[in-house]
Amino acid sequence: MLLRDFLKEGMSRLEPLYPTPEARDIILSLCESRLGIGRYTYATDPGYSLSVESSQVLTEDLGRLAAGEPLQYVLGFSDFYGRRFNVTPDVLIPRPETEILCDEALKIARRHGSAPKVLDLCTGSGCIAWTMALEIPDALVYGVDISEKALEVASGQDFHRSPSEVEVTVSERSRRPVSERSRRVVLLQADILQDPPHFPCGTFDLILSNPPYVMDSQKKEMRPNVLEYEPSIALFVPDDDPLVFYRAVARWSQALLSSGGTGIVEINDLLGERTRDLFLSSGFKDVSILKDFSGKNRFVKFAR
Ligand SMILES: C[S@@+](CC[C@H](N)C(=O)[O-])C[C@H]1O[C@@H](n2cnc3c(N)ncnc32)[C@H](O)[C@@H]1O
């Protein structure tokens, strides 16, 4: 089969699910990753022919994509902050907005000086925790999640595998130098709706969290592929108590944030002011709302 023909078939099967530019992007990304070819090979080399094995793999992938499964689960990875993270349906696919949270946190951590202590609540794939640990060489980073399966994904990230164990589909840029492979995130299974446990390091300089924040009533605005494939435990909160996880983060921060420490949480843009007020009334200072790429209220920052 010619690559061009596969692209045509892929477009016809994905266009009912996605806007045309997105369908094209998904198919091109699939071919790029699976075949290790340039994105526009179909145009620069119109006679590019797929091997029998490649056709089989791509056809199977296309079946999953056409059933609505997100590309990241089909490929088993998602790129975040310049690194490749393993993802499975047990973890939320890291979102680009969350990179803004990491940017803010890294600015603060770098100002802090040596060995900042960082706590990531609701760590999921570990994308925030690992980014902090890999960007700040001497940081001590803890990641907490209630889901054992999510923690397995977080602990199995490729950064501490040797290059020979890294699959061929993993791009060169995700192969980190040896110094990065020795970095660690301490992962802990805990329910943040309960009281915090004792941490051997005492308090933290930074507490970060992207907790579940989508209200049940917002489900109707969401795409079927998110609703059907991403873990609902990672996403949803009841309409009658949408800030339940922020109360928990505030409680853990009252107990665990050092004096002078900073917290940053990702939030539901519809609840920006209510979330800010929650941290103000929990006794934190310098509480502010930060925006995302589209100008929506997306984060609350607070200090102790
Ligand atoms: C929105 S996802 C965030 C994942 C990751 N930090 C990210 O930014 O992509 C929320 C995470 O909260 C976890 N979670 C849900 N309820 C929890 C609870 N009661 N205690 C701790 N973690 C919880 C879920 O398992 C999920 O991994």
Instruction: Encode pLDDT of 140-149 as tens digits.
Output: 999 999 999 9
Return the H-helix or E-strand segment holding 184: none
Q: What is the band of 182 on the pLDDT scale with cuts at 50, 70, 90?
A: low
Query: Which amino acid, 158?
Result: D
* Mean pLDDT value across residues 275-283: 98
pLDDT of residue 30: 98
- pLDDT over threshold 90, residue 186: yes
Q: What is the band of 183 on the pLDDT scale with cuts at 50, 70, 90?
A: confident
Nearest CA to ligand 1 atom 6: 123
pLDDT digits (tens, 9 = 90+) for 16-54: 999 999 999 999 999 999 999 999 999 999 999 999 999
- pLDDT over threshold 50, residue 171: no
* Mean pLDDT value across residues 188-214: 97
Report whether residue 192 contacts ligand 1, using a CB cutoff of 6 Å.
yes
- pLDDT over threshold 70, residue 55: yes
Q: Which of 146, 187, 195, 232 maximizes ligand 1 atoms within 8 Å of its Cβ, making it the mutation to test the pocket?
A: 146
Q: Give the number of the atom of ligand 1 that is nearest the alpha carbon of residue 211.
A: 10
Q: What is the band of 246 on the pLDDT scale with cuts at 50, 70, 90?
A: very high
pLDDT of residue 177: 53
Query: Which amino acid, 259?
Result: S
pLDDT of residue 179: 57
Nearest CA to ligand 1 atom 17: 146
Q: Give the number of the atom of ligand 1 that is nearest the alpha carbon of residue 122.
A: 12
* Mean pLDDT value across residues 274-282: 98
Report whether residue 98 contacts ligand 1, using a CB cutoff of 6 Å.
yes
* Mean pLDDT value across the chain: 92
pTM, 2 dp: 0.92
List, in sequence order, the alpha helices (H) in the chain: 3-14, 20-35, 41-44, 52-66, 71-75, 97-112, 127-135, 148-155, 178-181, 224-229, 232-235, 244-256, 272-281
pLDDT of residue 113: 80
CB-CB contact of 104 with 299 (8 Å): yes
pLDDT of residue 163: 36
Q: Is the dihedral of CA 217, 221, 227, 228 positive or negative?
A: positive
Following CA atoms 257, 192, 209, 106 in sequence, which dihedral angle do they give, to the nearest 10 degrees?
40
CB-CB contact of 37 with 48 (8 Å): yes
- pLDDT over threshold 50, residue 299: yes
Q: Give the number of the atom of ligand 1 that is nearest the alpha carbon of residue 123.
A: 6
Whose CA is closest to 246, among 220, 286, 222, 210? 210
pLDDT of residue 169: 32
CB-CB contact of 71 with 26 (8 Å): yes
Q: In percent, how much of the chain has pLDDT > 70? A: 92
- pLDDT over threshold 60, residue 160: no
What span, in angstroms and rounded, lies between the C-alpha atoms of 194 and 206? 20
Q: Which of 100, 101, 122 maximizes ligand 1 atoms within 8 Å of its Cβ, making it the mutation to test the pocket?
A: 122
- pLDDT over threshold 90, residue 224: no
Least reliable range by pLDDT among 92-106, 173-187, 241-255 = 173-187
Nearest CA to ligand 1 atom 24: 234
Whose CA is closest to 302, among 290, 59, 189? 290
Residue with tokens 């915090």: 196
Q: What is the band of 112 on the pLDDT scale with cuts at 50, 70, 90?
A: confident
Q: Which of 79, 80, 81, 92 maximizes ligand 1 atoms within 8 Å of its Cβ, making it the mutation to test the pocket?
A: 92
Following CA atoms 226, 227, 233, 237 in sequence, which dihedral angle do they give, to the nearest 10 degrees?
110
Whose CA is closest to 245, among 271, 274, 273, 209? 209
pLDDT of residue 123: 98
* Mean pLDDT value across residues 254-283: 98
Residue with tokens 């990531």: 120
Least reliable range by pLDDT among 50-54, 93-97, 166-170 = 166-170
Answer left, alpha or beta for residue 296, where phi above 0 means left and psi between -120 and 50 means alpha: beta
